Amino acid sequence: MARKDKHVSETPATAWLRGHGIVFTEHVYEYVEHGGTEESSRQLGVSEHEVIKTLVMQDDKREPLIVLMHGDRQVSTKNLARAIGAKSVEPCTPEVAQRHSGYQVGGTSPFGARKSMPVYVEESVLALPRICINGGRRGYLVGIPPNVLTSVLGAKPVACAI
C-alpha cells in the first residue's frame, strides 16, 4: 500500500528543489528490486506514463548525460544521439551511473546530482499536467509540474521515445 503521507528525510534532490523554490509533493512507496516505474506507478495509483525515469547515459566520448523518459517508454539511443549531435549514446553501467550522479541506481534524480551533466527530456513529457520523478532515494518520488525540468533544471527537449 502506498504511503503518501510519510515524509522522507532531505536528499540532495529535495534540497535542490527547495533551494530553487520548487513546491513538490512527496510519494513514498515500497521499493521492489527491478520493479521500476511499473511497480512505483502501481503502488501509487499513478499512470506509468506520468512516472518519469532518470537514466544516466554516455555519448561516444564517454561524457555522461541524463535522459528523462516516460516510465512506459524506452529511449531510442539512435534518435537521441542524432538529436544531441553525438555518434552514439549508450546507458552507463550502474557503477558508472552512481559515480556520476551520486545516487544509487533505482534512486537516481536529475536534481542535485554529484556531477553537472547535460539533461535531456523526452519532449512529450512536457505536455503532461504533472509528473512524478525520483526524489533522490529508492522508494521515493516527488510530484512537480513538468516545466520545472526545462525552466529551472535546464533540460533540453528531444524526441527520442520508442
CB 101 within 8 A of CB 56: yes
Quick one: CA torsion of 121, 84, 118, 161, rounded to 10 degrees? 20
Tens digit of pLDDT for each residue in 39-98? 999 999 999 999 999 999 999 999 999 999 999 999 999 999 999 999 999 999 999 999
Residue 87 resides in a domain: yes
Tens digit of pLDDT for each residue in 3-25? 444 556 799 999 999 999 999 99
Residue 121 resides in a domain: yes
Tens digit of pLDDT for each residue in 95-109? 999 999 999 999 999
* pLDDT in the model for residue 9: 79
- Expressed as residue numbers, the domain containing 22 is 12-158
* pLDDT in the model for residue 6: 54
Residue 153 resides in a domain: yes
The CATH number linked to 76 is 3.90.960.10
Residue 29 resides in a domain: yes
* pLDDT in the model for residue 4: 45
Helix (H, G, I), strand (E, B) or coil at 124: helix
* pLDDT in the model for residue 2: 41
The count of structural domains within the chain is 1
Residue 6 resides in a domain: no
What is the DSSP code (8-state) at residue 75?
A: B
Quote the CA–CA distance of 33 and 57 in Å, as a whole number.
20
Residue 1 resides in a domain: no
Residue 7 resides in a domain: no
Q: Is the pLDDT of residue 1 over 70?
A: no
Residue 52 resides in a domain: yes
Please, what is the end-to-end C-alpha distance for the chain in angstroms? 31
Full-model pTM: 0.93
